Every structure is written in C-alpha cells, then in structure tokens.
Amino acid sequence: MLNRWCSILVLVALLFGLLPSPAGAVKSYLFKTCNDSGFCHRNRHFASEVAKIGSDFESRYSINSQDLSIKKDKGLVEGSLLKRLNDGSHVSLPFQISVLSDLNLRLKVNEERTGFNSKALNSKRYDEASKWAFTQEPDLTTFDYSLSDDTLVLTYGEYQAIVNLTQFKIEILYKGTLRITMNDRNLLNMEHYRTKEQQEAENSIHIAPEESTYNAYSDSFKDSKKDKLPFGPESVALDFTFSGYKHVYGIPEHADSLSLKDTTDSEPYRLFNVDIFEYETQSKYPMYGSIPFMIAVSPESSAGIFWINSADTYVDIRKEESNIEEETDQQVLSSKDNLEKVETHWMSENGIIDVVLIVKNNPQSVSQSYGKLTGFTTLPNMFSLGYHQCRWNYNDELDVLDISSKFDEHQIPYDTIWLDIEYTDEKKYFTWKKELFPDHDRMLAKLDETGRNLVAIIDPHLKTHYEVSEQVEKLDVGIKNHNADEIYKGHCWPGESVWIDTLNPESQPFWNKQFENGSEFAGYARNLHIWNDMNEPSVFNGPETTSPKDNIHYGNWEHRSVHNLYGLTYHEATYEAMIQRNPDIRPFILTRSFYSGSQRTSAMWTGDNMAKWEYLKESIPQILTMNVVGFQFAGADVAGFFGNPDKELLTRWYQAGIWYPFFRGHAHIDSRRREPWIAGEPYTSIMRDALRFRYKLLPVLYTQFYQSSLDGSPIMRPLSYETPENTKTYSIDDQFFFDQLLVKPVTSPGQDKVSIYIPDSKPYYNLNTLEKIVGEGYHEIEAPLESIPILIKSGSVIPIKARYRRSSRLMTFDPYTLFVTMDDSAKAKGYLYIDDGESFNHSLDQDFVYIEFEAGDNEIKSSIIDGDATKTFTSKLADVKVERIVLIGGPIVPPKTVDVVQGDKNWTAEVLPADGFWTIRNPGVIINQDWKISLAS
Ligand code: NOJ
C-alpha cells in the first residue's frame, strides 16, 4: 500500500516539479528576485536616483499646514501629506501620527483612491493588517507640542518626535539622543493611483524623473504573467535610519545569520510567505512566514520598527563598511560616540503605510513593547513542550502504537506522535483512511493511557468533489479567482483543490463543525491536536508556488494585500475551532506559515531543512531570530527533513534540539526511519540522555514560557539580550542562554571541544565537570559526543524534575531537585511556575503558583509570589516535595545538617558533601508553601 502512495507522490511531484534537484539546491528560478519584482525594482531604482542627486534632492512630500489638526489630549495628529506631482499639483494623502500608551510613535498614511471602479474589488488600500496583528487597537496617550512654520515637535515621556513639515521627515529622540529617523534619505514613495493612460501620456505629471515605470501594469516574470495588476503601481516605501546602532535583528523568516547583513550588493531580505522547496542556508530568500519587525541593539538603548503591512515586502539594509568587521576595543569605545548607523529601506507592493517606532532602554523592553501590541506567546499545553515524534508518515494504527511502545522499551520519554498527510483518504482532510486507521478513537485512547497525544495534519487546500470542499463552494467561503465570480481552483497534494478563505467570518462556524466532538475526523478524543501545514498558501501550480496575487478574499481584497497574513488567519481559525471543541484544553497548533500575532495561538517550525550539518548550525540563528520577534514557540525538524543523517549528525542534532522551544523529530517520506533506537549504541544511549535531559528541564522551560507569556522575553536568548552592554556578543549566534544556562551545541562533525564565549565577569560552572570558569572571553571546553557543552551562570536556582517517566503528564506530581549555584557574593535566585499544564484555570481561577527561590545570607528560601496554592490543582501540590537541593559554589566546608522551617514546623535535614558541590538530601519541604533552610553550620 505504501508503495502505491509513494508512486502517486512521485507522480504528483513530477507533475509539479517538486522532486529534489540533483544538486539539492533551492529552485531559485521559481522565485522572484528584487529585479523581477516590479515594485521592488522601481523602489530600488528610485533609491539610487535619489542618492545620485544627494543633498540637493527635494522631497516631494510635505505636510499640509492648512488642515493639520493636533489633538494633544487624544495623542493624535491628523492631516494630509501632500505629494507633489511634476506640474506642481498635489495628491493629498491622509495621515495620522499617534503616540501609543507605551510611548511608541505610530504613523499611518493612506490614499483615498478615486476613479477606480470594479464590482469585484474593494477600491480602498488594504488597511486591516493591524487588525490581525494586534490584540486590540492600542490606547493613545497625551503629548505636549510646539509648532513653527516648518517643524512640529511632540514631547512625551523622555521622548521627542521632531516632524519636519516642509520636507517630510520624523526624528525620534530618546533621552535627548537621536535614535530613529524616518524618511532620512527621502525614500518615501507612495505610488498614487493613476491609470495606465495617465501614466503613459506624453509629459505625464505622474512619473517623477527619479521614478521608473518598470512592470507597473503587467508582470513579466514567467509564472506571474497572468497577474492583472488591476490598480497598476501602488507600492509604499519608506526609509528609516537607526542612529547609534551597528546591529539589527529580526524580520523573519530567512535562513540567515542572527545579525542581519548589509544588502547593498545583494538581494534585499524578502518577506513573502512561500513554500520554499529545499531552501538554502545563509540566504535572504523568503520563507514560509513573515514578521515585519526589526530590532536594533546598542549598549545605551534599543529600537524597533514594526512595519504593519501584509503584502510582498523587501527590506534593504545598509551599514558602514567598518560595521561589518568584528569590533575591536577601539571601536567599542567609539560606539559611545554615537557615530554608527544602520539604514533600512522598506518596500511593500501595496497597502498603506502603517508603522510603529519603538525606542527603549534595552532589547528586552523593545520585545515587551512589541508584545503588548501583538500579544504574547500563550502558555502552551505542557505536553507540547515534551518531545514530538513525527515522520511522513507513520503508516497505520499498528505502526503508531508500535513506535509508541518502542519508546517505552528503550526508556526514552516522548509525549506526542504525529500523522502526516497519508492518514487521510486520498488527502481529503477530515477523513481517515479506514483500512489503515479503522478506529482512531481507540488508537487515541491507547496513547492516552501513557499520557501521550496525537497531532494530525489539516491543510487549507481541500480536494475538489468531496463533501468538505463542496460545502466550501456552496457556502461561498473559499478564496475566489480574479473576477470573484468563482472559487479559485489550483493544485496541491490532493490534486485539484479549493482553499478555505479564513478571512471570511463565515468560514469559522463551518471550520468549527469539521473539528466538532463526534465528527468523522475528531471523534471524542481529548488528546488530539492539529498541524496546519502548506498555509502560505502553497499552490503547486501557482506563481512562486503560491496563490495568484489577483485572487480575491472576503471583503473584496486582493490576495496581493493579505498574502503574508493568510497563514495566520488559517491557524487562528483552527485554534478557535479546537477551543470550541473543548474549551477546557489549551489547543496545540503547529503552523508553517505565520505573521505578527501568530505567537498568540500557535507554534512554528522552520520547514523543510536538510539532514546536513549546515542546517543544524542554521537552526540556531533561525530560532533565535523568532525568539527576538516575540515568537518563542519555535523549532526545526530534527535531524533534517530531507535526506538521511549519519549517526553523528543525528546524535548532535538531538543534543541541539532539546533546546528548541518546540522539539520535534521529523523526516521526509523518502528518508529512512531514524527513531532514536535505530542508530544503536552508543548513539541511542546518548540520544536517550539528551531527551531525558529535556524532560528534566521541563519545569525550567515551562517557567520560561510563563514569563514570556507576561513580557515577551525570548526563551532561546541571544547573548546580546543577556548582556547588551557587551558589543562583542552582537554577532554571536552559535550559542545562547536558556534560562541561566549558557549553551553551545556542537554543530560540526568530528568535534570534541568547543570554544564558548562568556559575555560577563561572573563565574560560570561547566555542567559536565562542575569546573568553575571565570572571565569574559572564549574558553575551551571538552565536548565529546556524549556531552553537550553547557555552563551554568552563577547566581541561579534551577528547578528540575530528575526522575524518568514515559511522558510529561506522568511527571505532574514528581518531586523537584533544585540546583543552586552561588555567585561571588554567595547569592542566587530563580523561579518556578506550576499549574495543571493543560486547562485555562491558571488564568480563569488563579489556579497556579509562581515561586521565587532566593539564596543568600546563609539561607535558601522559597516564597510563593503569585497565584493561589489553595485551588483545585495547586492544593494537590501539597504532596509534591523538593527531594534534593544541590549547592554549587556554596561554603567550602558544608554543615553536617541544615535547619528547615516550613509553616509552623521545623526539622533538620542531612547534608552530603561531594567534590565541588554538596547536597541537602530530602529536605522534606513541600512545593506549594513558603519555606526556609538555614545553611549556617
Ligand atoms: C511539507 C511540510 O513542510 C513537511 O513537514 C510535510 O511532511 C509535508 N508537507 C507533507 O505533509
């Protein structure tokens, strides 16, 4: 049977050019470069012409002082931005400048298009990207201002926004220092509406000498020649200069370095969600998702640009030559002089200009401010932080249950097994191939016995001619063709398909129905969760493997305008359907495509990587980048989707994968089976140890997610976030912090040592040897195959659960071990968050405890600083104890016993000395009450 499916797949792949090319490289001819893309080509041309004219260039944009309205108490400035045409007449563009309550500045510029008539299309520029990205419309705050003939100055908090009215420009000063300049290089360009005839008329007033007309009304790229481009040229572009910064991060998704590169002599970074087949590393090609948010970091402050546009977007970055080199001490000193700058140029195919500028003291505060707008990562269901075992495909119920029991046989913990597309009947989502999965409720119940879950794939393309797609047509909830008179039909895994239009509110009840309890697909299982793949959307026969840009969505919006947020609307609809199905369980949804705001309801992974060392290495900056733009629940396929990893790569990838916030093994249908027991010894034992280590760290990871759900802090944290004062960390993207652990996974073959960079002067301890390592700079540590290079930062308390269980659910009431690593002043601190791990009672009913551990003054104490220990779940924690406290770097001569106080009781506990650390054995304290242990001998 499998063979039959393989051959069908091969056929589909052949038909749509999807077979791996022999060189295994990205099919670059499928995707546009900036030069192939009319609007990018035109805006780069514009930028180079403006640069040639230099300081003599007179901006065509000015603020009309006649209708300027300054509502200081509302936090709003409104008016019109005038764009000067060749004959001196103007196009009037309504704008708003607002001061958001978190002291960020927002600019919106729109165009009221007149003269465009079409029944099929909304004539407005798309202005709803923020509706999807934001949790709610942000509150505004008051400002003071002064106004002269050519300048408006807004003052709010420690900020000033200086708006040049005659040559439109906005400078943002924070604490008196210039940090961001908008339209610094006069690259503002809003291609106003004009007909082809108007544009092509002799001496047209619409095309300025610095502009190009390349592909304004047609598309010459081979696969998108049919694009109707009904509005002609309608791009929006603007430049921003970050002053006093040398490094910028963010704007995923690209397989590139964490610190973004200068693009002067290369392609710009492109944000356009595509099914990028066999992507390359160190590339600016677009990938599956887009988050148009960039962060600049310096020791003094940090700044962010959030460009809220969901159309095809390119970003150029220009740095000064010297910036690219590693900083010498001299350069570090000169950074104080504030000379450096990073210039950025943002170009989107259409939509409005809607941008938020954020400046704060440090990168963490910028991430937090962005999270306040777009929402923080929702606390995941605990099981989803365990290990996920996937492949394309586990063949049938027996296979699933056999794999599951093999984990137990080999004593390897895991939480979730996955089903890829082959479980369906002919790729018809919401069906099961009955002969292979005769009773999925039975299978799910069996998995549930050991606390395991199943994730099944549901893609947005629905095969034509079966009940689900027929309903889509009947209810008229599909994406439409360019005339909006028919549902669009394209090709994907099942052959001819339609796509659910999840921008349409009518799609939600229909979608809910498919996931309902008792439906053919979902049955009644509580441990079923969902994978949303191919939601860029991937269309095998579409231009650039996606939907034609002139297709039409609900609201009569062109696909062109909403392309980058379609994936978000789709996984949000699935999340909502799963909530409807079971309001008491936090749904787990994995999405491939994403936009700003996706972090609220889903996890993501980096798509189809390869079983090669360079992809293992690349996964770290990829996930770090996701983490700095507020999408913490990110992972990469372990150990590479395409191909067959050798045993060393497989093992090293597991050792790296345990740090991914989302940790899943996955493989292509043509790759050989590679579950951890297949490699044999010593590899299996090493992978088992790594997996068990992940499970030991689950309390740390869950606590990190809790903190992130409140403040957007990264979980895999770049060194520049930990020590922004140390500029030498700014380009480091092969190591990271995970709570207070500094980790540098081995990412090349044959390596048995790593050189790990310590970014500060605190003592660190090698977790493998407990050796104390002190001093900012690189330190060589041993890293034989069986070990992962990890340093514990002193001054930390790390709570772990040390006992092996088959799944995370079975660990719920296990005792804790605390690792206390004292700093130079004999102090340490750490946190632990606990709730039931699956319901919403933590937020509905305060059914959680948030604990602070503190060591110092010869004692260790635990205090519940938030939550309520008397609720349904937290009261059960009265049976959960701390079974061991390990002290590293404590007093050299340990006491024989320590005094323990909890509530009105006290007792003594035994101390076991060892080499380099000592242990308080069975201190006997329970986790849901405050306690104190005196360390004095
Ligand atoms: C593409 C996804 O990226 C991959 O993970 C999955 O296995 C295939 N689609 C088949 O569903």
Per residue in 565-598, pLDDT (tens digit) is: 999 999 999 999 999 999 999 999 999 999 999 9
Strands (E), 714-752: 716-717, 736-738, 741-743
Are 782 and 755 contacting, i.e. CB atoms less than 8 angstroms apart? no
Q: Which atom of ligand 1 is nearest to the CA of 457?
A: 11
Residue range 49-57: average pLDDT?
94
Eight-state DSSP code of residue 730 = T
pLDDT at 640: 98
pLDDT at 14: 33
Its pTM stands at 0.95
CA torsion 484-486-491-497 (nearest 10°) is: 120
Mean residue pLDDT across the chain? 94
Per residue in 512-562, pLDDT (tens digit) is: 999 999 999 999 999 999 999 999 999 999 999 999 999 999 999 999 999
Q: Indicate if ligand 1 lies below 6 Å from the C-beta of 392.
A: yes
Looking at 333-337, 638-642, 924-928, which range is the least confident one? 333-337
Per residue in 96-149, pLDDT (tens digit) is: 999 999 999 999 999 999 889 899 999 999 999 999 999 999 999 999 999 999
Q: Indicate if ligand 1 lies below 6 Å from the C-beta of 531.
A: no
Q: Indicate if ligand 1 lies below 6 Å from the C-beta of 635.
A: no
Q: How far apart are CA 12 and CA 497, in angstroms?
A: 13
pLDDT at 331: 45
Strands 236-243 and 177-182: antiparallel
Q: Indicate if ligand 1 lies below 6 Å from the C-beta of 289.
A: no
Q: Which atom of ligand 1 is nearest to the CA of 392?
A: 7
Are 455 and 531 contacting, i.e. CB atoms less than 8 angstroms apart? yes
pLDDT at 894: 84
The pLDDT confidence band at residue 15, using thresholds 50, 70 and 90, is: very low
Q: How far apart are CA 853 and CA 401, in angstroms?
A: 41
Q: Which of 534, 535, 540, 669 to mutate to test the pocket of ligand 1 (most atoms within 8 A of CB)?
A: 534
pLDDT at 915: 82
* Domains of the chain (ranges, CATH numbers): 33-374 (2.60.40.1760), 382-722 (3.20.20.80), 812-937 (2.60.40.1180)
To the nearest whole percent, how much of the chain has pLDDT over 70? Answer: 95
For residue 5, how far is its CA from the centre of ligand 1 (angstroms)?
Answer: 15
Q: Which atom of ligand 1 is nearest to the CA of 669?
A: 7
Q: Which atom of ligand 1 is nearest to the CA of 607?
A: 3
pLDDT at 325: 43
Q: Which residue in the block uniquely carries the two structure tokens 């395409």?
A: 642
| Secondary structure of residue 538 in the 3-state scheme | strand
The pLDDT confidence band at residue 277, using thresholds 50, 70 and 90, is: confident
Instruction: Establish whether the linkage from the previous residue to 253 is cis, with ω within 30° of 0.
Output: yes
| Secondary structure of residue 833 in the 3-state scheme | strand
Distances (CA, A) of 594 to 188, 534, 606, 607, 634: 27, 11, 11, 12, 11
Task: Give the DSSP H/E element, type plus range, for residue 331.
Answer: helix 329-335
| Secondary structure of residue 625 in the 3-state scheme | helix
Q: Which of 608, 610, 664 to mutate to test the pocket of ligand 1 (most atoms within 8 A of CB)?
A: 608
Are 115 and 105 contacting, i.e. CB atoms less than 8 angstroms apart? no
The pLDDT confidence band at residue 10, using thresholds 50, 70 and 90, is: very low
Q: Where are the alpha helices (DSSP H) in 16-77?
A: 38-53
For residue 370, how far is its CA from the centre of ligand 1 (angstroms)?
Answer: 31
For residue 731, how far is its CA from the centre of ligand 1 (angstroms)?
Answer: 32
Please list the active-site residues: 533, 536, 608
Q: Indicate if ligand 1 lies below 6 Å from the C-beta of 420.
A: yes
For residue 533, how far is its CA from the centre of ligand 1 (angstroms)?
Answer: 7
Residue 3 has pLDDT above 50, yes or no: no
pLDDT at 4: 40
For residue 258, how far is its CA from the centre of ligand 1 (angstroms)?
Answer: 25
Q: Indicate if ligand 1 lies below 6 Å from the C-beta of 608.
A: yes
Q: Indicate if ligand 1 lies below 6 Å from the C-beta of 607.
A: yes
Residue 419 has pLDDT above 80, yes or no: yes
Residue 275 has pLDDT above 60, yes or no: yes
pLDDT at 787: 96
Q: How far apart are CA 125 and CA 152, in angstroms?
A: 28
Q: Which residue in the block uniquely carries the two structure tokens 């604990």?
A: 851
pLDDT at 556: 97
pLDDT at 339: 64
Q: Where are the alpha helices (DSSP H) in 811-937?
A: 841-845
For residue 287, how far is its CA from the centre of ligand 1 (angstroms)?
Answer: 14
Q: Which of 275, 392, 590, 642 to mutate to test the pocket of ligand 1 (most atoms within 8 A of CB)?
A: 392
Which residues are paired to 271 by β-bridges?
A: 313
Residue range 221-245: average pLDDT?
96
Per residue in 853-869, pLDDT (tens digit) is: 999 989 999 999 999 99
Q: Indicate if ligand 1 lies below 6 Å from the C-beta of 536.
A: no
For residue 557, how far is its CA from the centre of ligand 1 (angstroms)?
Answer: 29
Q: Indicate if ligand 1 lies below 6 Å from the C-beta of 640.
A: no
Beta-carbon-side half-sphere exposure of residue 20 (alpha carbons within 13 Å)? 17
Q: Which atom of ligand 1 is nearest to the CA of 288?
A: 3
Per residue in 331-365, pLDDT (tens digit) is: 444 444 446 999 999 999 999 999 999 999 999 99
Q: How far apart are CA 565 and CA 569, in angstroms?
A: 6
pLDDT at 25: 67
| Secondary structure of residue 244 in the 3-state scheme | coil
Residue range 290-309: average pLDDT?
98
pLDDT at 658: 98
Q: How far apart are CA 479 and CA 484, in angstroms?
A: 9
Q: How far apart are CA 154 and CA 172, in angstroms?
A: 10
Q: Indicate if ligand 1 lies below 6 Å from the C-beta of 421.
A: yes
Residue range 425-452: average pLDDT?
98
**268 φ, ψ (degrees, to nearest 5):** -70, 165
For residue 876, how far is its CA from the centre of ligand 1 (angstroms)?
Answer: 41
Strands (E), 481-572: 490-492, 495-499, 528-532, 552-553, 557-558
Q: Which atom of ligand 1 is nearest to the CA of 390?
A: 7
The pLDDT confidence band at residue 24, using thresholds 50, 70 and 90, is: low
The pLDDT confidence band at residue 937, using thresholds 50, 70 and 90, is: low
Q: Indicate if ligand 1 lies below 6 Å from the C-beta of 730.
A: no
